[in-house]
């Protein structure tokens, strides 16, 4: 499996919509654990007021990511292969809501 960054711009209007998408993604990922595995996601505060995400996945291919997204009803604006990790530090604590 390779590591990929998936950019999803302005895919959701509300946190509830985003949570529902996350639930669908988890359910779909459980069906195909050898093809796609989500590592983490960062929620983007788009200037439009909508929410986007940057997601880190391990996957067998970009096509497997697109299939996963289609089945889970998720947008995919861009898939980028990760070449290397430069800095290894734990993520900062989550921002309070």
Q: Give the residue-averaged pLDDT of 55-63.
A: 96
Predicted model pTM: 0.85
The two three-digit tokens of residue 51, written as one number: 């929410």
Could you read off the pLDDT of 10-32 as tens digits, one per residue? Answer: 999 999 999 999 999 999 989 98
């Amino acid at each position: 499996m390779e590591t990929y960054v998936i950019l999803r711009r302005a895919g959701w209007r509300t946190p509830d919509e985003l949570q529902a998408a996350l639930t669908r993604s988890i359910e779909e990922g459980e069906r195909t654990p050898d093809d796609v595995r989500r590592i983490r996601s960062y929620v983007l505060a788009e200037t439009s007021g909508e929410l986007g995400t940057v997601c880190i996945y391990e996957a067998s291919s970009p096509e497997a990511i697109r299939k996963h997204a289609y089945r889970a009803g998720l947008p995919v604006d861009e898939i980028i292969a990760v070449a290397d990790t430069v800095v290894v530090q734990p993520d900062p604590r989550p921002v309070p809501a």
